[in-house]
Amino acid sequence: MDSIRDSYVLSNGVKIPCLGYGTFRLPNDEHTTDLVKTAIDCGYRHIDTAFGYGNEEAVGKAIRECGLKREELFITSKLDNRDHGYENTMKEFEMTMNNLGTPYLDLYLIHWPKPLKYRDHWQEANAGTWKAFEELYRAGKIKAIGLSNFLEHHIEPLLDTAEIAPMVNQIELHPQYVQREIVQYCKDHRMIVEAWSPLIRGDINQPIIVEIAQKYKKTPAQVLLRWSIQHGFLPLPKSSSRERMMENADIFDFKLSDEDIEAMKVLEAGGRTGSHPDTAEF
């Protein structure tokens, strides 16, 4: 990858830009619309939202007002935890499309594998959801379908009934939480791995990260995003300023050494920052 405009290629041949702009916890207001438009102006072509974020309308307004053709953008959204199963998925997808005001989605993900509402029958609920995903994909309403926060033991039951394999898995991923087993599983099954919280939820000024950043005359955030890219991941950083957006995109003119990456393994003692998919209280 040599620039923010470069893309990975999904298993179905669809291109997905290698760096995305995340919108988690951004409100559903004009401010968010302006931030997404600013990100697009800074060169981002991949925007990640979710029904559960509550900001699809603001993101959709930015898509329509940014001045680019719809096909120049890659838009992801995710199914809410309250609406698993075939019928619920179909209904919520229409709501997402209305919120975004777009004729199609580039990528649609099941947000979490075992929501509280479906915890005693999550395999059945996911199978019904995936059937809906496959129908929407075949109808051309979604260009690619995938998962979020799924581990191996969540994916295997899905594959038992799936006719189309997932193309993406979006998981918490950064040097503090490397998830080697699920990453390798995804690679073995031709799934692109997207990294949420690639900047460790802002805990970036740890000594080893600062040291490596100084070595390359880069910022700690740039080191962390470069780590993702060099591992073949697709990071989804969020920022609320043009300066930081530009900084996050400026990660293609240096390369971390093997020694740097080895030294960063000290961070693994920190572990995850978010919920575990099996025990999340939502």
| pLDDT per position as a tens digit, 48-84 | 999 999 999 999 999 999 999 999 999 999 999 999 9
Q: Give the integer Cα–Cα distance in Å for 214 and 223.
A: 10
Catalytic residues: 53
- How high is the pLDDT of residue 120? 97
Residues with Cβ within 8 Å of 181's Cβ and at least 6 positions away in sequence, in order, are: 151, 152
Q: How far is CA 88 from the centre of its chain?
A: 22
Q: Give the integer Cα–Cα distance in Å for 110 and 129.
A: 8
- What's the pTM value of the predicted model, to 2 decimals? 0.97
Q: Give the integer Cα–Cα distance in Å for 190 and 165.
A: 9
pLDDT bin (cut points 50, 70, 90) of residue 132 is very high
- How high is the pLDDT of residue 91? 98
Which tens digit of pLDDT belongs to each residue from 82-123?
999 999 999 999 999 999 999 999 999 999 999 999 999 999
Rounded to the nearest 5°, which phi and psi values hold at 79? -70, 135
pLDDT bin (cut points 50, 70, 90) of residue 229 is very high
- How high is the pLDDT of residue 214? 98
Q: Is 78 helix (H, G, I), strand (E, B) or coil?
A: strand
Query: What is the dotted CATH code of the domain comprising 7-202+232-242?
Result: 3.20.20.100
Nearest to 35 by CA among 241, 229, 260: 241
Please give the C-alpha separations between residue 170 and each of 45, 151, 265, in angstroms, as whole numbers.
18, 10, 21
Tokens of 251: 């990660």
What's the mean pLDDT when you consider all of the chain?
98
Q: Give the integer Cα–Cα distance in Å for 91 and 84.
A: 10
Q: What percent of the chain has pLDDT over 90?
A: 100
Rounded to the nearest 5°, which phi and psi values hold at 47? -115, 130
Domain ranges of the chain: 7-202+232-242
